[in-house]
Amino acid sequence: MKINWLRTATLATAVSAGLPLAAHAQSPDYHLSDAQSSDAVVDPSAMSRSKISLSDIGEEIVFPATNLSTSQVPSSHSRANYNGSGYSATALASHSLLSEGCQADCAADAACDASTSCGCDDCCDSCGCGCLDWLNCWPCGCALSDLGDACLLADHFCCFKERGGVIGGWLAQSYVWNPYQPEDRFNGPMTWTDRANDYQMNEVYFYAGRAANTEGCGFDWGWRVDSIYGTNYRWNTSGGFETNFGNGQFYGWAIPQVYGEVAYNDLSVKIGRFYSPVGYYVVGQANNFFPVLPYTFQYGEPFTHTGALATYKLSDSLTLGGGVTHGWDASDNTANPHAGGLATATWTIDDQRSLAYVGVFGPEPNFSGVNPANTSLGIVGYTTRYLQTLAYIRKFSDDITGVIQSDFGWQKDALFNPNQELVDAKWYGVNAYLYWNQTCRLQWGLNAEWFRDQGGYRVGSLFPSFGSPNASGLGSDQSTGNFFTRTGYDGSFYRVMFGPKYYFTPNIYGRAAFAADWYDGKTNNPGNLEPFDNGLRDHQEAVVFDLIATF
């Protein structure tokens, strides 16, 4: 979650002056851990997070399409087992052998490029023309495996790739049809795709790096850099890092990951800025099945940390981790002058099941002004916050996978209620997913979510934040200077969402998600504004379309 620093500082100042305050909602940002088996191929972004992955429990389908297998397509979220630009789990050979292998691979790639042909006519010959073949074959008329490998940027840097390096990215674009046509052009508290009836270039995402991989023996090192340009930058910034980037209201640049990594035997330590290991969904629109973020992710969890995180593989089934950070989405004292902690545990139960826990704790900004501290943005109060996430993945068959995630968060003396009583804040919820691979090209997803914001501290206006001081969003308009008008939602949010994911080529896929959201609770804000339809409704139905092109 992003900290609304302007609102926090204003509230703290008002408290110190003895002014009465109503309850307000804070907007969160950010995610749970996944173990990686020693023989897995590690996904480029798995260097940054330790989430549970389908590959950890015997899932053969890889995710995302950035490194698509020629034979299968992802059924759902998986943080390891990448092909293409993924990390091989084999040890690197000597420099001379690498050079020879690199030259041979380059020659083989050139020969493959010269011989590969996948015209639609050829593909159609292998697919047939049954009455339902459009589900499997449209528009080219061939199965995804017939199209060949995805085109990867890493293939043009074969020597770097042979040394364990990865490089790639994607372009994510979206459009949301909102039948209510809200006057403020926002889809209530829905994100990434927050704009109603409007085009968004959500992300031009680029990553490069090398995973530290010892295969359980010896020493290795690695590094990672990720960058985002687009409307999604607003949620992926860190106080003190992107604060002075000069980003715009909707479009801007963020560098959510930049770190180094060292490993010795079964111990690995990363130092720098990295994605939080909490939760099930992850940063990067192409890294999740749905283009819409769950409430638990957006409003209940941190997105990034700056500090150090160590993980130790105790056995093939159990991995533990711990770290010291600058707190939630903070890189220096701009957002948080205190230190925080991380604890992780991942248990691979068997080939079909995995369970992961992550705990995050430490002093974080509050809305009460209690325990004030000087920051570069004024006086802000800090009190103890604790968040835990649990994620359970169950593979029912080769084509059906289920996920259930729970969150529980608590912060001491976080805000004043409408009776001007100092109270703790709590937020908690449950998220469930079911994924089905209908064909190699076509998958379906179903999601149900309940998120409770007890006290109205989490859900609502997000911007400005410490890392995105120039951003606009729901209830905050930089052009008018009106901020944090959609807050104080002391109640429960619900969502049911389903839709398909279809691969046109190994590099290009589209998604359509029907999402029905509704809210049951209080509206503790000055205008008594509801969360949806410019403050007029407690519910919303929308259809989200997005198109991803990977490279």
Residue 184 lies in a domain: yes
**Structure tokens given for 234:** 């607003």
Residue 109 lies in a domain: no
Q: Give the C-alpha separation, 413 to 381, whole Å.
A: 10
Residue 148 lies in a domain: no
Q: Give the C-alpha separation, 90 to 269, whole Å.
A: 20
**Structure tokens given for 152:** 């990867």
The dihedral through the CA atoms of 409, 410, 414, 416 has a sign that is: positive
Number of domains in the chain: 1
308, 313, 229: which is closest to 42 by C-alpha? 313
**CATH code of the domain covering residue 418:** 2.40.160.10
- pLDDT given at position 116: 39
Segment (H or E) for 105: helix 95-115
The dihedral through the CA atoms of 288, 289, 291, 296 has a sign that is: negative
Per-residue pLDDT of the chain (551 residues; tens, 9 = 90+): 544 444 444 444 433 433 333 333 333 333 333 333 333 333 333 333 445 443 333 333 333 333 333 223 233 333 333 333 333 332 323 333 333 444 444 444 444 344 433 333 443 344 443 444 444 444 444 555 666 788 889 989 989 999 999 999 999 999 999 999 999 999 999 999 999 999 999 999 999 999 999 999 999 999 999 999 999 999 999 999 999 999 999 999 999 999 999 999 999 999 999 999 999 999 999 999 999 999 999 999 999 999 999 999 999 999 999 999 999 999 998 889 999 999 999 999 999 999 999 999 999 999 999 999 887 667 889 999 999 999 999 999 999 999 999 999 999 999 999 899 999 999 999 999 999 998 888 999 999 999 999 999 999 999 999 999 999 999 998 888 889 999 999 999 999 999 999 999 999 999 999 999 999 999 999 999 999 999 999 999 999 999 999 99
287, 249, 180, 225: which is closest to 535 by C-alpha? 180
- pLDDT given at position 379: 85
Residue 145 lies in a domain: no
Q: Give the C-alpha separation, 17 to 12, whole Å.
A: 9
Residue 418 lies in a domain: yes
Residue 390 lies in a domain: yes
Residue 134 lies in a domain: no
**Structure tokens given for 172:** 């994510």
Q: How does 296-334 read in b/e, with b if 16+ C-beta sit within 10 Å?
A: bbbbbbbbbbbbbbbbebeeeeebbbebebbbbbbbbeb
Cite the DSSP H helix spans in 138-264.
Answer: 158-162
**Residue 33: count of CB within 10 angstroms of its CB:** 29
Segment (H or E) for 9: helix 5-16
Rounded to 10 degrees, what is the CA torsion of 378, 379, 383, 387? Answer: -20
- pLDDT given at position 334: 86
Residue 125 lies in a domain: no
Give SS3 for 176. Answer: strand
Enclosing domain of residue 457: 5-92+164-550
pTM: 0.80
